[in-house]
């Protein structure tokens, strides 16, 4: 049976000899039918979705780095990317510090939202790293 014909639910399947836990959701966040999987067959549906959402956050960071010109190899691009990575790391440190010192219960999604709100309050990523002419 093709995977596209699976009804919503959890399944243990095998792909090229590897056991996989497949999660089928008919309407994931209004985006239609989605398929999530894990090679750890002990993962819960929540574990599988959280792992996917965390991976998506990484994809967003990669997209932001590319928007800053990561694929180019000029010195100025490297300086901008270094600044972006430093800001991202400091933001994460700040949010995690609040989380641990104040005993907040923040998951990966809420941490990501807090970091995004920090950037937006500073004027957005592109504004922060806009190239300025020396006068």
Number of domains in the chain: 2
Residue 36's SS3 state is strand
Query: For the chain, which residues score pLDDT lower than 70?
Result: 57, 65-66, 68-78, 104-109, 111-112, 119, 122-135
Confidence at residue 65, expressed as pLDDT on a 0 to 100 scale? 67
Angle, in degrees to the nearest 10, between helices 45-67 and 75-102? 150
* Entry pTM: 0.45
Residues 6+ apart with CB under 8 A from 61: 88
Confidence at residue 121, expressed as pLDDT on a 0 to 100 scale? 74
Compute φ and ψ for 102, nearest 5 degrees. -100, -5
Confidence at residue 19, expressed as pLDDT on a 0 to 100 scale? 93
Q: Please give the mean pLDDT across all residues of the chain.
A: 76
- Whether 61 maps to a domain, the answer reads yes
Domain span holding position 68: 45-128
- Whether 134 maps to a domain, the answer reads no
Confidence at residue 108, expressed as pLDDT on a 0 to 100 scale? 64
């Amino acid at each position: 049976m093709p995977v596209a014909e699976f009804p919503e639910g959890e399944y243990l399947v095998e792909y090229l000899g590897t056991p996989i836990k497949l999660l089928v959701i008919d309407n994931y966040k209004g985006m239609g039918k989605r398929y999530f999987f894990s090679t750890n067959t002990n993962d819960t549906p929540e574990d599988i979705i959280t792992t996917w959402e965390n991976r998506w956050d990484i994809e967003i960071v990669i997209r932001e780095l590319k928007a800053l010109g990561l694929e180019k190899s000029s010195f100025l691009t490297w300086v901008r990317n270094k600044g972006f990575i430093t800001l991202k790391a400091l933001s994460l440190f700040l949010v995690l510090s609040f989380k641990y010192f104040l005993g907040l219960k923040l998951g990966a999604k809420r941490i990501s939202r807090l970091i995004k709100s920090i950037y937006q309050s500073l004027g957005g990523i592109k504004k922060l790293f806009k190239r300025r002419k020396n006068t």
